[in-house]
Amino acid sequence: MADRIREKMNQLRLEADESAQKVEELQAKVKALEQENLAKEQEITSLSHKNGLLEAENEKMDTTIKDLKKTADEGLQHGTHNETLQRRLQLLEEEAEEADKTLRETNEKLRQTDVKAGHFERKVQALENERDQWESKYEEIVKKHQALQKEFDDLQQEIGNI
């Protein structure tokens, strides 16, 4: 019986040693798991921080995209406005060319009219000179006629006195 008790004790010692060894293994596993858990928590904290930074960056990029879209829309509106102004400028240039053409034609007609007016002024001057000459001749003829008439009257009176 004592052998049995010894055997039992040895068996219990062996079991205790195995249990102690298992406890040590489990404690090492727990320690390793705790370290792994701590590492995972640190990784989670790091990733959470990175996630927050990325979300902030994402919001910043969204804002930038909205601003760029707004700028692009404004650019498109400016482009449309520019096209409208270009068309208006083209129309004004065409109107200016037409007005310039009309002005040139009017100036040419004015020049021709001035030339004709000069020609007619010379004709009028020549006709006035001719008229003055005819008036002069008429006055001379009237004087000669009056002188001849007087001579005739005088002659008639002399003849009548004879």
pLDDT band at 3 (very low <50, low <70, confident <90, very high): confident
Reduced to 3 DSSP states, what percent helix, strand and coil does the chain have, rounded to the nearest 5?
Answer: 100, 0, 0
What is the rounded distance in angstroms from the CA atom of residue 137 to the CA atom of residue 146? 14
For residue 2, pLDDT over 80 is answered with no
DSSP letter for each residue of 79-137: HHHHHHHHHHHHHHHHHHHHHHHHHHHHHHHHHHHHHHHHHHHHHHHHHHHHHHHHHHH
pLDDT band at 6 (very low <50, low <70, confident <90, very high): confident
Tens digits of residue pLDDT in 43-76: 999 999 999 999 999 999 999 999 988 988 887 8
pLDDT of amino acid 77 = 83
Q: Which amino acid is at 92?
A: L
What is the rounded distance in angstroms from the CA atom of residue 40 to the CA atom of residue 34? 9
For residue 162, pLDDT over 90 is answered with no
For residue 22, pLDDT over 90 is answered with no
For residue 140, pLDDT over 90 is answered with yes
pLDDT of amino acid 11 = 85
Q: Which of 13-22, 54-63, 86-95, 140-149 has the lowest mean pLDDT?
A: 13-22
Identify which of 67, 64, 68 has the alpha carbon closest to the alpha carbon of residue 56. Answer: 64
What is the rounded distance in angstroms from the CA atom of residue 80 to the CA atom of residue 101? 31
Taking residues 27-47, report their average pLDDT. Answer: 91
Buried-state track 111-123, b at ≥16 Cβ within 10 A, e below 16: eeeeeeeeeeeee
pLDDT band at 159 (very low <50, low <70, confident <90, very high): confident
pLDDT of amino acid 9 = 83
Tens digits of residue pLDDT in 80-130: 888 898 999 999 999 999 999 999 999 999 999 999 999 999 999 999 999
For the chain, report the end-to-end CA distance as a whole number of angstroms. Answer: 229
Task: Retrieve residue 74's tokens.
Answer: 């404004």
Task: Retrieve residue 13's tokens.
Answer: 């010692």
What is the rounded distance in angstroms from the CA atom of residue 54 to the CA atom of residue 78? 35
What is the rounded distance in angstroms from the CA atom of residue 159 to the CA atom of residue 151? 12
Q: Where do we find the tokens 């804002």?
A: 63
pLDDT of amino acid 67 = 92
